[in-house]
Amino acid sequence: MRIEGRDLIDLVLSWSLEEVLNVDLYKGQVGTIPTEFDSAADYFKSFIPSLIEETHAALLSSIKTLYRSPVVEINYIAPTAEFELPNNLFYKVHLSPDESPSLIPKDLMALTDKRPNRVDGFNITNEPYVVAIVCKADPDRPNVVTILASKPLLLENVHQMRKKESLFGVYMTNITTNVRIWNSLHLGLQGGNFINLLSTVFKRNSDDGVCIPCRLGESDGLVPSRFLNLNPSQEDAILSCLDVRRCRHANTIKLIWGPPGTGKTKTTSILLFTLLNARCRTLTCTPTNVSVIEVASRVVKLVSRSLKIGNYGLGDVVLFGNGERMKIKERKDLVDFFIDERVDKLYPCFMPFYGWRASINSMIRLLEDPQGQYYQYLEKSKDTVPKSLQEYLTERFSELRNDLELAFSSLCTHLPTALLSSQAATRMYESIDLVKDATISEGMSGEGLKSILVVNGGDRFSREQQVTVEDYYLKLLRLIPEIFTLPGVGDRHLIKELCLGHACLLFSTASCSARLYTGQPIHLVVVDEAAQLKECETAIPLLLPGIQHSILIGDEKQLPAMVESQIALEAGFGRSLFERLAILKHKKYLLNIQYRMHRSISIFPNREFYGMQIQDAPTVKQRNYTKQYLPGKSHGEEQYGEGRSLKNNVEVAVVSDIIAKLLQVSKRTKTRISVGVISPYKAQVLAIQEKIQETCSGGDAGGLFTLKIRSVDGFQGGEEDIIIVSTVRSNGIGRVGFLTDRRRTNVLLTRARHCLWILGNEATMMNSKSVWRYLIQDARKRDCFHNAEEDESLARAIMDNAKIELDTPLTKSRWKVCFSDEFKKSVGEIKNPETYRKIKSFWKGYLRRESLIKQSKIDDVLRLIWAVEILKEEFQYIQVLKIWDVVLNLEHHMKYTEGEVEKCRARCISGDVVIPLRWSLESTNGNGNSDVMEETFGSLNLAGEMMTSEQPNDSLEDEKEEEDIEIDRLSHLLSSITL
């Protein structure tokens, strides 16, 4: 069995569990990818070590979370005919149909005899698990797949499984894209005509235009329509790209630089629409399914508005890829353009017994010899009571008319114009319209055609006109097969190849473009969001047969490609071809007018990221573009939440309060408002989503109010009226995590049209020594900086959140914190949010104090009383933090023996961490009967941050964030307790 990328697959299957878990397995073997290359071999080889390391990191990430991965039970497994030791270990696997996930080729799975619940869950036998890759899936039987295993399987155990024994397949990850990159890199290493285009960018190249003969030649006059309302920079960019389209002598790569809000998608769609009119066979690629859907939908709108003959011409536009991941069924505007849906619509048209040709012949026979057709019906009929002549002709005519209408509509809509002429399409639509309202005449007397058809109600035509129309309809039916000569194609694969091979505009992800390597040549490749695409992945479409020119559209100042491996990231594996060419000073066509942001929002990112090269459009300068919503800023304590991903519950409360107000405004004023909430941390996104569900679940504004809550990556390319940014980070040392990434910050700051709120901690931002420091300074200068506690409503939200968290049981704490009833009662009576804040930051150097009972100053009046105690817990004693009360002066004391006092004073320091000590019951007679109310603050670690042990596969956080968990001594513990 031939498998693409077999070398890479064999390498992956050769890794042992120990090697997979070794994060440094390829450290020292991955070199930095240079910005210039001396040869094609240097170019393509430079990406291979990083690709291997990235594949290893993806597998490592997946194996850490196998306990959360889809699991299927295997009912049957046996070697295939291609099975051959030692390497071709092919097996056919039957999965349990009751729980089978949809497995596709290049899915990696682990075969094991138990459902894993952690990494070492596989260490159950001498052969803990076997990794296998899905090579082929049976389209007719989704629960049957062919796999290639890393090791031979002991099949006698499988065939003789007792009822208590099972075999499971655990999904790990899919490596399709990495395999396609691997194949393209090795294709490039073969040299030849494949690398003509890429060879122009191995080094700095000052030549940016068309070759001299084409530059001096006459223009073909192809310019974008003026009604499309392009600005000069957009028009210049499009015209420069149309110029290279005409050149057949040289290879050219053009860059269009589209900063936020400058109409990049509009420019791209008009460029593609113009290329369609020029009959230039063009492939448009993007990094993700979401982005390819976006650009395709914009082009489809332009194409649909320009059609002149029904839907004829839509077949020149085709979208292909993974329909499930694209959620194509949910996109009614695009479903007819998706290749699989298109094949499904065309397939019946070419069937020999009921396709379009068969239907035409049947209609002709019915109209020319109605009685003969009726007699044939009577001979074959099994009806107890046969239909009358009138009934038969009425039903049969209606059936054939509907069949022809469906077939002709499908052919005109889905076939490329290269396969169906405009003359044939016109005649098909004409035939549909001609008999759309036709009926069978009453009182059939067997007089042939003249007695059958009543066209358009009959009363508008004389009998002679009826006969003329009927004759013309028959002539149309005979003419169509003569001018549409496409032979019968009863094979779905052949129909797909015809549609892909003759379409003019093709849309897919860069990875899926590999499907075109065996198809008809492509002349031009347009890569949208090119700055988000790894350069080696861009090689997939740029190495397609026939490619002469490419247009890269993007912005290297925004988010780059996602890279799993830190080693590969540091090697430059995530750098895009767009960014590398920008570094080499390749000419970029800048779209320099932004239409999205109010000028007060655009000024900072324009100055900080684009050197004031972007102009504000007149529309955003107008007074009516200014919208006043609700003011507010906030800061709170950062905590660890879902998947070791940071969250900040105070910011969650403030966001919820703001959204609730905006929803009420929308309902009261009947105003359409779109709101986006962005956070760099997945846990914060989830926390905000949960909170909004609780507080705004019943707040329908009649469809006027829309809300999106996403990560930064999920918002690239998006825009809303109002954007609320929850920065999460709140610490005294200026750690802002992902916010140090200028490109991520750029995306955060450029999504809003009218209003941008940023919730964050001033001290953290100012101490970060990043762009956020300058943002705070800029906000202060422009009087845009506010304290949430100065707003009565926001202050109440913060205080309510604090009271809720006081009673929230958390898990997995290192220290147990006990609260007395007096403390809870005292805190519940506090109304001032500033007092809450001071209670949370009361800790001052308790290690230097000698007494067991501590007083910590909250303000001039209040003191927090607390102590380190020991508590009996099953068969041992453990140190606990006991919070006694908030009082005006010291009111409590404790009585301990001298030995117990020494145990309370004892400290165990591990690195920078103070951990609680434990003693066996036999070693002490200490007080184990302290009747205090215990509240376990589960996720409290030494920085007071809340976390869980899970790490989702799509988590945005880098593992370096884990260093923030325990960076402070115990002297900072209670300063981060959320009250």
Q: What is the pLDDT of residues 316-327, one digit of tens each?
A: 999 999 998 898
Does position 952 have pLDDT exceeding 80, yes or no?
no
Position 505 confidence tier, pLDDT thresholds 50, 70, 90: very high
In the chain, what percentage of residues exceed pLDDT 90? Answer: 44
Domain boundary pick from 142, 158, 181: 181
956 occurs within a structural domain: no
1 occurs within a structural domain: no
For the ranges 5-9, 703-707, 953-957, the lowest mean pLDDT is seen at 953-957
Q: Which two tokens stand for residue 313?
A: 């011409």
Q: Which residues contact 809 (CB under 8 A, 6 or more apart)?
A: 935, 936, 938
Residue 350's CB: how many other CB atoms inside 10 A? 20
**pLDDT, position 205:** 76
Cα–Cα distance between 466 and 473 in angstroms, integer?
11
Q: What is the mean pLDDT of the chain?
A: 80
Q: What is the SS3 assignment for 420-447?
A: CCHHHHHHHHHHHHHCCCCEECCCCCCC
Cα angle: 460, vertex 464, 467; to 5 degrees: 95
Asked if 668 and 660 count as a contact pair (C-beta separation under 8 A), the reply is no
Does position 26 have pLDDT exceeding 80, yes or no?
yes
C-alpha distance from residue 585 to each of 43, 198, 208, 223, 736 (Å): 19, 17, 11, 28, 32
Residue 473's CB: how many other CB atoms inside 10 A? 21
Does position 358 have pLDDT exceeding 60, yes or no?
yes
Asked if 721 and 673 count as a contact pair (C-beta separation under 8 A), the reply is yes
Position 168 confidence tier, pLDDT thresholds 50, 70, 90: confident
700 occurs within a structural domain: yes
Cα angle: 616, vertex 622, 623; to 5 degrees: 135
Q: Catalogue the E-assigned strands of 529-670.
A: 549-554, 588-590, 593-594, 615-616, 639-640, 646-647
Q: Single out the residue of 843, 867, 842, 863 nearest to residue 854, CA to CA.
A: 867
* Cis peptide bond N-terminal to 86, omega within 30: yes
Residue 870 dihedral angles phi and psi, to the nearest 5°: -120, 145
**pLDDT, position 978:** 35
Distance of CA 927 to the CA centre of its chain: 56
Cα–Cα distance between 978 and 941 in angstroms, integer?
12
Taking only Cα atoms into account, the Rg of the chain, rounded to an integer number of angstroms, comes to 35
Position 426 confidence tier, pLDDT thresholds 50, 70, 90: very high
Q: What digits encode the pLDDT tens for the residues 773-819?
A: 999 999 888 888 888 777 777 777 777 765 555 444 333 345 666 77
Same domain membership, residue 134 and residue 58: yes
For the ranges 73-87, 284-298, 406-420, 836-850, the lowest mean pLDDT is seen at 836-850
For the ranges 33-47, 354-368, 753-767, 864-878, the lowest mean pLDDT is seen at 864-878
| Domain encompassing residue 638 | 627-802
The answer for 204, left when phi > 0, alpha when psi is -120 to 50, beta otherwise, is: beta
Burial environment of residue 302 by CB neighbours within 10 A (0 to 12, 13 to 18, 19 or more): middle
83 occurs within a structural domain: yes
Could you say which DSSP state residue 3 is in? -
Could you say which DSSP state residue 534 is in? B
Same domain membership, residue 326 and residue 442: no
Q: Which two tokens stand for residue 701?
A: 């504004």
Does position 213 have pLDDT exceeding 80, yes or no?
no
In the chain, what percentage of residues exceed pLDDT 70? Answer: 73
Does position 521 have pLDDT exceeding 70, yes or no?
yes
Same domain membership, residue 307 and residue 241: yes
Instruction: Identify the helix (H) or strand (E) that includes residue 709.
Output: strand 705-711
Same domain membership, residue 530 and residue 434: no
Position 55 confidence tier, pLDDT thresholds 50, 70, 90: very high
**pLDDT, position 58:** 94
Residue 16's CB: how many other CB atoms inside 10 A? 11
Could you say which DSSP state residue 325 is in? H
Position 928 confidence tier, pLDDT thresholds 50, 70, 90: very low
Does position 712 have pLDDT exceeding 70, yes or no?
yes
Beta pairing class for 439-440 and 453-454: antiparallel
Does position 727 have pLDDT exceeding 60, yes or no?
yes
Same domain membership, residue 219 and residue 107: no
808 occurs within a structural domain: no
Q: Single out the residue of 378, 400, 398, 379 nearest to residue 389, CA to CA.
A: 378
Does position 503 have pLDDT exceeding 60, yes or no?
yes
Domain boundary pick from 916, 935, 954: 935
Helix axes 289-306, 264-277, angle to 10 degrees: 50
Q: Which two tokens stand for residue 801?
A: 């959140």
**Which residues is 285 bridged to in the sheet?**
508, 527
**pLDDT, position 973:** 37
954 occurs within a structural domain: no
The answer for 703, left when phi > 0, alpha when psi is -120 to 50, beta otherwise, is: left
Same domain membership, residue 498 and residue 478: no
Cα–Cα distance between 202 and 43 in angstroms, integer?
7
828 occurs within a structural domain: yes
Asked if 863 and 856 count as a contact pair (C-beta separation under 8 A), the reply is yes
Distance of CA 744 to the CA centre of its chain: 16
Give alpha helix (H) positions in 878-966: 898-905
Same domain membership, residue 676 and residue 785: yes
Q: Single out the residue of 551, 553, 554, 489 nearest to residue 522, CA to CA.
A: 551
**pLDDT, position 500:** 95
For the ranges 9-13, 162-166, 295-299, 644-648, the lowest mean pLDDT is seen at 162-166
Q: Which two tokens stand for residue 296?
A: 């395709």
Q: Rounded to 5, what percent of the chain is helix, strand, coil?
A: 45, 15, 40
Could you say which DSSP state residue 25 is in? T
Asked if 271 and 241 count as a contact pair (C-beta separation under 8 A), the reply is yes
Domain boundary pick from 149, 181, 213: 181
Asked if 814 and 952 count as a contact pair (C-beta separation under 8 A), the reply is no
Asked if 899 and 924 count as a contact pair (C-beta separation under 8 A), the reply is yes
Amino acid of residue 674: S
Q: Which residues contact 604 (CB under 8 A, 6 or more apart)?
A: 749, 775, 778
**pLDDT, position 235:** 93
**Which residues is 218 bridged to in the sheet?**
none
Asked if 677 and 641 count as a contact pair (C-beta separation under 8 A), the reply is no
Asked if 819 and 951 count as a contact pair (C-beta separation under 8 A), the reply is no
CATH number at residue 576: 3.40.50.300
Cα angle: 772, vertex 774, 779; to 5 degrees: 95
Same domain membership, residue 653 and residue 509: no
- Note the pTM of the prediction, 2 decimals: 0.79
Cα angle: 895, vertex 899, 900; to 5 degrees: 45
Cα–Cα distance between 47 and 181 in angstroms, integer?
9
Asked if 729 and 739 count as a contact pair (C-beta separation under 8 A), the reply is yes
More confident of the two residues 527 and 161: 527
Could you say which DSSP state residue 819 is in? E
Cα–Cα distance between 412 and 425 in angstroms, integer?
6
207 occurs within a structural domain: yes
Cα–Cα distance between 886 and 830 in angstroms, integer?
10
Long-range Cβ contact pairs of 334-342 (< 8 A, separation 24 or more): 334/293, 334/296, 334/297, 334/300, 336/413, 336/414, 337/296, 337/300, 337/507, 339/496, 339/499, 339/500, 340/496, 342/315, 342/318, 342/414, 342/499
Q: Which two tokens stand for residue 584?
A: 């080499």
Same domain membership, residue 899 and residue 883: yes
Same domain membership, residue 794 and residue 903: no
Does position 643 have pLDDT exceeding 60, yes or no?
no
The helices-and-strands tally (H runs, E runs) of the chain is: 33, 31
Position 717 confidence tier, pLDDT thresholds 50, 70, 90: confident
Same domain membership, residue 116 and residue 22: yes
**pLDDT, position 966:** 33
Give me the mean pLDDT over the 329-356 stretch.
92
Q: Which residues contact 175 (CB under 8 A, 6 or more apart)?
A: 8, 9, 12, 55, 58, 106, 108, 133
More confident of the two residues 126 and 590: 590
Helix axes 833-840, 792-806, angle to 10 degrees: 40
Provide the domain count of the chain: 5
**pLDDT, position 945:** 32
Same domain membership, residue 364 and residue 236: no
Q: What digits encode the pLDDT tens for the residues 117-152?
A: 555 545 433 446 789 999 998 877 878 999 999 999
